[in-house]
Amino acid sequence: MRRCASFVLILTLILPSMAVGADDATLPGYSPQTSQTEREWEAKFRAIPDPANLRETMKRLSARPHHVGSPYDKDNAEWILARFKEWGLDAHIETFDVLFPTPKVRVLEMLEPVKFTAKLEEPALAVDPTSNQKSEQLPTYNAYSIDGDVTAPLVFVNYGLPEDYEKLDRLGISVKGAIVIAKYYESWRGVKPKVAAEHGAIGCLIYSEPKDDGYTRDDVFPQGPMRSSDGVQRGSVMDFAASSPGDPLTPGVGATPDAKRLSLKEAKSITKIPVLPISYGDAQPLLAALKGPMAPDEWRGTLPIPYHVGPGPAKVHLKVESNWDIKKVYDVIAKIPGTSAPDEWIVRGNHHDAWVNGAEDPVSAQASLLEEARGLGLLLKQGWKPRRTITYAAWDGEEPMLLGSTEWVEAHAEELRQHAAVYINTDGNDRGVLNMGGSHSLEHFINGVARDIEDPESKMTVWQRLQLNRIAEAKSADERKELRQRADLRIDALGSGTDFTAFLDHLGIATLDLAYGGEDEQGIYHSIYDDFYWYTHFSDTDFVFGRALAQTVGTSVLRLADAEVLPFEFVNLADTVQKYTTDLKKLLADKQDEIRERNLELEEGVFKATLDPRRPTVAPSKEEVPPHLNFAPMQNAADALTQSAEHYQKALLQKQASLNQEGDRAALRILNQKLIESERRLTDAAGLPRRPWYTHLLYGPGVYTGYGVKTVPGVREGIEQKRYAEAEGEIARVSKALEAESALIEEAAQQLEHLAP
């Protein structure tokens, strides 16, 4: 699983004057000599990944459904293990015992005003050879929906987000005691039943709207890549953002056989109301039977019906029951021991389980991971000796909610806290530009890697293609100016929705999340049609972007594993923190303005004047204007961070030439330990308010977005959710962490300066 971004890539003319980073420059963290050697190994590595292998691997791993607990899931894990071993890596399978519900009963029918029974079934297609593996396919359902049997009037709630319910309030419509029907996307799907339950709904349907991933965008499968009228998006609805991901019965600890387990009733992350995903074929009769006010313009989709909100007269019966079984997940772990710094670890992962056949999600990127591992095996045979220890992980149980990776991280938390320097994640790959997300201390590093990878289509570097695409899409002259002048392209802050979550958010391990994409539309996400036939007709059909991904991530792994000094860089981090501070001040000011304006309009009678008695609406209520908050501690801490970051950068440049001098091994070790510690300093063991599992103070999934990141989540969500005193407390806490980070970077700079000569 990962966020399914559907944006259109705009191709631009190549500007020959645009500068590309010189690839003969000394690599950060290396001396000129070791940099040269490193570049030679990297070039050898990049010649290895082969599209023909990627294709064969995809064919093998996606040949049958391979969800958690299925025979082919285990079979794939064993096959991956055998490949790691064949390539000379020290590999094993580590298992955990996790709660994984599968469907027992699924009923959806309309009782009034007309009778209709939903199909809840994706048909096999003659042209698509794996779509008929019915006996092995998981039926369409949302995992971790609570069991329930409810009958109630239906209400259409748009995407089912908090702001949609504010609109419903204005329309005078309550969902209390109703079953809601929400569209997929715009948030983590588990947010929809969560918000519905908070507003008193007793059941939730989620449907795939053709405007979002169906015929409105392109032809439907099998003529095109989009979702057909029977296509359904399976998926987890676990409320992980408000509690924790991983096995719901063993939060915070590895789900080993002897782990203490909660009872099902005590598990916090299971939904409060029953949920079922449906196709637009099943949704259309239900939506067509709604009356009540017309849905606001922006809520309406492209089905040939008037979109009313309800409630009713459509009355539906929803029944959902699961088998609440404990299943085994099989994480495949391969190690390459480091030579001179074996206790500094680089970890690289991608999941291998899928909802059904999962050619795109996750096999497209799992295949790249395996090509990387094969490549590293070949380099080892040619005499390459990584300085640090490298771990390759093929996670199981990602789809239900990051089960394999979370349990592994929780089980190994102590050693990971001490040793893990960086985690690199992928989860699916398509054609297009490089999407880079991660910790901003790695922003400069990953920009450097992107400057060394060739784009398979334009033949420019993937960095340059991304820069030019961003210029084409930029919304303002300021944005374009920054894209042309800033040395590095900004990377996205990470929310959640894939396996990096426990590494970054729980332990504070610096993280990267990478993928190519943006050129092709797709509407097969989590359906039986995400398979080899679809991928080889509508995505990276010749696997050249699969090769580019293996080259990108493999180069990153090599460069991180071999550097004398871990290539963290803090000037971009400080720049990002400055930006967040400005953003938060603006968020509060905008909120104050908005409430002031609304209060004024209430006094003026704007809502009375605009009331159409035939389409009645309810005026909002007056609200207190948010108080001012003291951002000074955060601003001061951000300034201190900027200073120490610049100091560190200067020190590193000065010492670059002597980095590989013998005699300073112990000093380098101390320096690297400080660098490993740098992301941990941005965490607080007490965790975010009401969700102690999440300890990172700069990045976290939003409680009401799930996938989408909330940067500086304690402060931001405090403001958004109107807990102003809490937000002020969080500003102080974040400031303290930033001060500790500056102090550490300052120590690292001094450590560098004391290196001989």
CA-based R_g, the chain, Å: 26
Q: Which stretch binds Zn ion (CB under 5 A): 42-50, 145-153, 206-214, 426-434?
A: 426-434
Which CB, 426 or 469, lies closer to Zn ion? 426
Which of 193, 362, 386, 689 touches Zn ion by CB under 5 A? 362
Q: How many whole angstroms separate alpha carbon 267 and alpha carbon 252?
A: 12
Whole-number minimum distance, CB 688 to Zn ion, in Å? 25
| Residues 523 to 582 in contact with Zn ion, rule: CB under 5 A | none
d(CA 200, CA 179): 9
Bridge-based pairing of strands 148-156 and 179-183 is parallel
Residue closer to Zn ion, measured from CB, 426 or 644: 426
CB of 286 to Zn ion, least distance (A): 29
Q: How far is the CB of 398 from Zn ion (least distance, A)?
A: 6
Binder to Zn ion among 1, 80, 154, 270 (CB under 5 A)? 1
| Identity of the residue, 74 or 352, whose beta carbon is nearer to Zn ion in the bound complex | 352
Report the residue number, 160 or 362, with the smaller CB distance to Zn ion.
362
Cα 105 to Cα 320: distance, rounded to the nearest angstrom: 5
Residue among 239, 331, 407, 427 that touches Zn ion (CB under 5 A) = 427
Cβ proximity to Zn ion: between 39 and 431 the closer is 431
In angstroms, rounded to a whole number, what is the distance separating the alpha carbons of residues 53 and 303? Answer: 42
Task: Choose the binding region for Zn ion from 195-203, 255-263, 419-427, 601-609 (rule: CB under 5 A).
Answer: 419-427
Between 69 and 362, CB nearer to Zn ion: 362
Taking a C-beta distance cutoff of 8 angstroms, is the pair 571, 90 a contact? no
Distance CA 117, CA 290 (A): 16
- Residue showing tokens 């590989």: 660
Minimum Å gap between C-beta 520 and Zn ion is: 17
**27 vs 365 by CB, closer to Zn ion:** 365
Decide if residue 682 touches Zn ion (CB under 5 A).
no
Residues 332-361 within binding reach of Zn ion (CB under 5 A): 361
Evaluate whether 491 touches 437 at the Cβ level (below 8 Å). Answer: yes
Residue number with CB closer to Zn ion (351 or 431)? 351
Positions in 388-407 near Zn ion (CB under 5 A): none
Side-chain half-sphere CA neighbours of 635 within 13 A: 8
Q: How many CB atoms lie within 10 A of CB 86?
A: 11
Which one, of 756, 751, 573, lies nearest residue 673 by Cα? 751
Question: Judged by CB, which is closer to Zn ion: 273, or 332?
Answer: 332
Residue 163 is classified by DSSP as H
Token duo for residue 73: 């899931």
- Interface with Zn ion by CB under 5 A: which range of 422-430, 474-482, 502-510, 634-642? 422-430
Taking a C-beta distance cutoff of 8 angstroms, is the pair 245, 502 a contact? Answer: yes
Closer to Zn ion by Cβ: residue 358 or 518: 358
Point out which span in 1-9, 119-127, 591-599, 631-639 binds Zn ion (CB under 5 A): 1-9
Strands 203-207 and 179-183, how do they pair?
parallel
Least Å from the CB of residue 361 to Zn ion? 4
Provide, rounded to whole angstroms, the least separation between the CB of residue 409 and Zn ion. 17
- If the CB atoms of residues 240 and 384 are measured against Zn ion, the closer one turns out to be 240
Task: Reduce the DSSP state of residue 290 to 3 states and report it.
Answer: strand
Residue with tokens 């938390």: 413
Write down the least CB distance from residue 127 to Zn ion, Å. 25
Instruction: Burial-class residue 113 by CB neighbours within 10 Å (0-12, 13-18, 19+).
Output: exposed
Size of the site for Zn ion (CB under 5 A): 4
Task: Specify the stretch interacting with Zn ion by CB under 5 A; choose among 410-418, 424-432, 622-630, 710-718.
Answer: 424-432
Residue 465 in tokens: 């293609």
Minimal distance, residue 428 CB to Zn ion, in Å: 5
Q: Which stretch binds Zn ion (CB under 5 A): 336-344, 362-370, 453-461, 661-669?
A: 362-370
Closest CB to Zn ion among residues 427, 575? 427
CA-closest candidate to residue 316, choices 438, 207, 413: 207
Binding window for Zn ion (CB under 5 A); candidates: 150-158, 427-435, 468-476, 654-662 = 427-435
How distant, in Å, are the alpha carbons of 418, 662, 742 from that of 750? 22, 19, 12
User: How many Å apart are CA 506 and CA 504, to the nearest integer?
Assistant: 6
Q: How far is the CB of 74 from Zn ion (least distance, A)?
A: 18
CB-CB contact of 462 with 452 (8 Å)? no
State whether residue 481 is helix, strand or coil: helix
Window 451 to 480, contacts with Zn ion (CB under 5 A): none
**What whole-number distance in Å separates Cα of residue 465 and Cα of residue 476?**
19
- Candidates 446, 495, 439; CA nearest to 466 is 446
Q: How far is the CB of 9 from Zn ion (least distance, A)?
A: 21
- Rounded Cα–Cα distance for residues 632 and 630 (Å): 6
Instruction: State the minimum distance, in angstroms, from the CB of residue 360 to Zn ion.
Output: 9
Q: How far is the CB of 362 from Zn ion (least distance, A)?
A: 4
**Where along the sequence are the contacts to Zn ion (CB under 5 A)?**
1, 361-362, 427
